[in-house]
Amino acid sequence: MFFQQFINGLTVGSVYALIALGYTMVYGILELINFAHGEIYMLGAYLGIIFFGFFTLTGLTSYSLSLSLALTIILSTAFCSAYGMTVERIAYRPLRNAPRLSPLISAIGMSIFLQNYVMLTQGATDKVFPHIFSTGGFTLFGATATHLQTVIILFSLVLMVSLHLFIRRTRMGKAMRATAQDRIMASLVGINVDTVIIVTFVIGSGLAAVAGIMVAMYYGLVNYSIGYMAGIKAFTAAVLGGIGSIPGAMFGGILLGLVESLGAGYISTEYKDAYAFMVLIVILLIRPSGIFKKSAEEKV
Amino acid sequence: MRRISTGTLLAFAFILIFSGCQKKDEVIRLGVAGPMTGDQAKMGTDFKNGVILAIEEWNSKGGVLGKKIEVMIADDQHDPKQAVSVANKLVNDGAAGIIGHFNSSCSIPASDVYNRSGIPMITPASTNPKLTEKGYKGVFRVCGRDDQQGKAGAEFVLQRLKLKKIAVIHDKTTYGQGLADEFMKQVSGKLDIVYYGGIVQGDKDFKTVLTSIKEKKPELIYFGGIYPEAGLLVRQARELGISTPFMSGDGVIDPKFIEIAGPKPAEGTYLTFSPDPKKFPTAGKFIETYEKRFGELGPYSVYAYDAANIFLTAMKEAGTKDGKAVIDKLHSMEFSGALGKIKFGEKGDVTIAPYVVWITREGKFVEHWKPGG
């Protein structure tokens, strides 16, 4: 049972980690908690269903399943990045120098708007992602990991490693780290802060979109309200790891998934959602700034 | 637009106040309450459509008591708090009677409001026993009760399947947990319950619960709840390699269940529900009209249609729209509708509530077993 719960937790945890990265990156650079981020994940799930449905209608799916899946992921990610950018442009940029509470309220407003926008345009009923994956998988120590679970875990890992390399090894990554340390100094040494912020939102939203599509495929069921709980959990994961820290978000997400799944497995399933928050409280009591955050300077 | 005088504002306020009060007595208003939006919107829409058909038939024959009938549709979003507020609104808007609500968790608090105002309420679908155990005279249901449903399920498990080890899950709602507990009451002591626990309605990941259950190797998993969670449970169970059959109640008997679970994983799921309305000769005409107009018949459409007809017949026979007179008439009369003969017992439950066991076969629900069979 332990391995099965471990695999279950790892799958859910990878998804939390992908969403948490968006929270943490935006916080690192803008010191803003982007509450609309959970909705971007929900939009990703919806767009995934819409694009995949479109490819099924046009016959691409029966021609090549992997091609249509790849296209679905690319298109939904692109659309979500555009959504993320737009949210930044209309809801956060005008408030960049306003008191910190204003963009926060604006973020909550954006979240409510996006939820209702999807509810009104797509309807309030659950949308079902077609069953395209076999329920089979491979067995390890008596635990079954479905193919889709394996794909989710591996794909998330690849994305996280690439993000890490991007931040550590590229010019843009360096600019992002500089902006996170001090926005005004960064702009004085010639970094285009606006571009850096846009790139941050594009990457964060893209990761959330991928998480959304994978969840849509994994559970096969999506509705307009899934962004709320996922957003709260991912935010918890980000705080757990130390908000602003990228390895912290990855670690926090996976830890949260494992705690939920093992807590539910060994204690009681009725309080599954409570375990995550209990761990958060305990960690914050011991390390108020999160597990990975050492000091205010290292934000990204 | 910057300066609107106080006078204009007052004028608007008065228009708003008085426009709400007009025409109260020129029509008979019937409230339909249920989840019209949200993830259970399909259920609400199904029975709204049933009521609409009933009312159109009455109106084409000249209405009731010489007045036209008007439907007021209220959305409780399957939220008990919302249910109370829409109940108050329906009462204030002058509803003469209510067809609703869908969820027991909504019907029970809303029944307090209707009882206080003396308005009869007939629910087509709320099966929790507590609803009619409160001693309210004006609360009726045309469906069965969970204790009857749980009993039918238990009989099937004990006598037909002859199982020894089962697991029970519920969704912690009034309906889901209520049904699961009624079922438990009937089987406890007679077989081994290896797992009992709740899940959260609206959650999508049940693999942790299922993994705990898998270890215990039950021969059947009983679930008290609604179709979205049931669909996910069945699907995720099969992904974990659990081939144990599932059994559930009337909240799951919806084509969406099979769509969510997938036809293959859903195969062989047992569901307790009333007999197929399509087998009632009396329902044929209604079903034909319904399907021509709204598409496939929902599980509770016929019940809603009959509930509306019963209410209007009682009002016609009472000769007044006064709540008390209509309630008395509802208690005393016998009605024959699409579901056959319906008579209310003292508590407002139907006197005969037959439950049968259905099974999913190749993506369709079919009747499978009758108690005593």
pLDDT digits (tens, 9 = 90+) for A95-153: 988 998 999 999 999 999 999 999 889 877 788 888 777 767 788 777 888 888 999 99
Spatial contact of B124 and B50, defined as CB atoms under 8 Å apart: yes
Whose tokens are 């959304």? That residue is A212
The SS3 call for residue A128 is strand
Report the alpha-carbon distance of residue B222 to residue B154 in Å, rounded: 10
Interchain CB contact of B347 with A (< 8 Å): no
Interchain CB contact of A1 with B (< 8 Å): yes
Which pLDDT value is given to residue B22?
47
CB neighbours of A203 closer than 8 A, spacing ≥ 6?
A22, A25, A81, A163, A166
Predicted TM-score (pTM) of this structure: 0.79
Residue B272 scores a pLDDT above 50:
yes
pLDDT band for B15, please (50, 70, 90 cuts).
Answer: low
Q: Which of A126, A146, A215 sits opposite B39 (nearest CB)?
A: A126
Q: Which of A4, A128, A229 sits opposite B259 (nearest CB)?
A: A128
Report the alpha-carbon distance of residue B27 to residue B23 in Å, rounded: 7
pLDDT band for B40, please (50, 70, 90 cuts).
Answer: confident
pLDDT in tens, B237-267: 998 889 999 999 988 988 889 999 988 999 9
Q: How far is B54 from chain A (nearest CA, A)?
A: 26
Q: Which residues of chain B does CATH 3.40.50.2300 include?
A: 23-144+279-338, 147-273+355-369
How would you classify residue B219: left for phi > 0, otherwise alpha for psi between -120 and 50, otherwise beta?
Answer: alpha
Minimal Cα distance from B243: which residue of A? A135
Architecture of domain A2-286 in CATH?
Answer: Orthogonal Bundle (1.10)
Which pLDDT value is given to residue B47?
85
Domain covering B23-144+279-338 in this structure, CATH number: 3.40.50.2300
Pick among A221, A273, A275 to test the B interface (most B CBs inside 10 A): A221
Residue B14 scores a pLDDT above 90:
no
pLDDT in tens, B340-356: 889 999 999 998 777 99
Which pLDDT value is given to residue B9?
58
Report the alpha-carbon distance of residue A125 to residue A221 in Å, rounded: 10
- Whether residues B42 and A264 touch (CB distance < 8 A) is answered with no
Please give the average per-residue pLDDT across B210-222, as a whole number. Answer: 93
Report the alpha-carbon distance of residue B103 to residue B83 in Å, rounded: 10
The residue among B35 and A294 whose pLDDT is bigger is: B35
pLDDT in tens, B156-170: 999 999 999 999 999
Q: How far is B241 from chain A (nearest CA, A)?
A: 7
Which residues does residue B165 pair with via DSSP β-bridges, in sequence order? B192
Q: Which residues of B touch A273 (CB under 8 A)?
A: 200, 203
Which pLDDT value is given to residue B4?
57
pLDDT band for B225, please (50, 70, 90 cuts).
Answer: very high
Token pair listed for B362? 């190749």
- In this prediction the ipTM stands at 0.80
DSSP per residue over B261-323, as a string?
Answer: H-HHHHTT-EEEEPPPGGG-GGGHHHHHHHHHHHSSPPTTHHHHHHHHHHHHHHHHHHTS--H
Which pLDDT value is given to residue B13?
58
Which pLDDT value is given to residue B186?
92
Q: Which residues of chain A have pLDDT under 70?
A: 135, 294-300
Spatial contact of B169 and B209, defined as CB atoms under 8 Å apart: yes
- The B residues from 168 to 227 touching A (CB cutoff 8 Å) are 172, 197-200, 202-205, 207-209, 211-212, 214-215
pLDDT in tens, B88-99: 999 999 999 999
Which pLDDT value is given to residue A300?
52
Domain covering B147-273+355-369 in this structure, CATH number: 3.40.50.2300
